[in-house]
């Protein structure tokens, strides 16, 4: 390297550095966003599995909420907008909005389903079909978790936010203890 090449090196560094910085920020942002998505997805799957085997138990929804809360890492629950436990309509292949229980965390002990959660219940667990008959098949239950997420750096193109909206469905298959 000659003495006169020092200026060219600084110019090359000034051109490459913003690209490297954007690449590093992008890897970090996408990695954290993917972690959040996978956490919500796993929690939804755990919740619907619990909802399926608790069936028409009086405390089925509370047990489902507790399972979801247990699967969240520390501090994650405060970011969740709402959790929905709903009847899935196989005819329309959609959530039955008239039979949807909405849970919103208010703070405090998350395992206390009465005092720490705001609940709008339109589908009590005690009226769920857990035994199939000739005219009534088993209910299909769903769990949906919605969590708004903002980008950490707000460095373009990672500005603003979006909502992670994950749901899972499963046929009610309550455990029978004899």
DSSP state for residue 17 in the 8-state scheme: H
- Give me the pLDDT at residue 137, please: 85
Q: Is the pLDDT of residue 154 over 90?
A: no
What average pLDDT does range 64-82 have in this prediction? 95
CA distances from 46 to 22, 24, 63, 140 (A): 36, 33, 11, 15
- Give me the pLDDT at residue 4, please: 65
Domain boundaries, the chain: 3-171
Give the N- to C-terminal CA distance of the chain in Å, as an integer: 84
pLDDT (tens digit per residue) in 128-146 = 988 877 788 889 999 999 9
Peptide bond connecting 98 to the previous residue in cis, omega within 30 degrees of 0: no
What 3-state DSSP class applies to 126?
A: helix
- Give me the pLDDT at residue 132, please: 79
């Amino acid at each position: 390297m000659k003495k006169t090449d020092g200026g060219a090196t600084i110019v090359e560094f000034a051109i490459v550095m913003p690209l490297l910085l954007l690449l590093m920020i992008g890897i970090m942002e996408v990695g954290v966003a993917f972690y959040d998505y996978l956490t919500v997805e796993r929690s939804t799957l755990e919740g619907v599995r619990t909802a399926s085997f608790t069936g028409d138990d009086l405390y089925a929804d509370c047990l489902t909420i507790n399972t979801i809360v247990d699967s969240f890492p520390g501090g994650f629950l405060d970011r969740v907008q709402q959790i929905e436990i709903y009847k899935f309509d196989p005819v329309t292949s959609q959530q039955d909005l008239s039979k949807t229980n909405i849970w919103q965390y208010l703070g405090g002990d998350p395992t206390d389903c009465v005092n720490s959660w705001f609940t709008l219940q339109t589908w009590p667990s005690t009226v769920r079909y857990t035994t199939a008959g000739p005219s009534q098949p088993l209910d299909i239950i769903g769990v949906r978790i919605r969590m708004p997420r903002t980008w950490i750096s707000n460095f373009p193109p990672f500005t603003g936010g979006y909502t992670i909206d994950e749901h899972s469905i499963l046929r009610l298959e309550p455990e029978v203890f004899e």
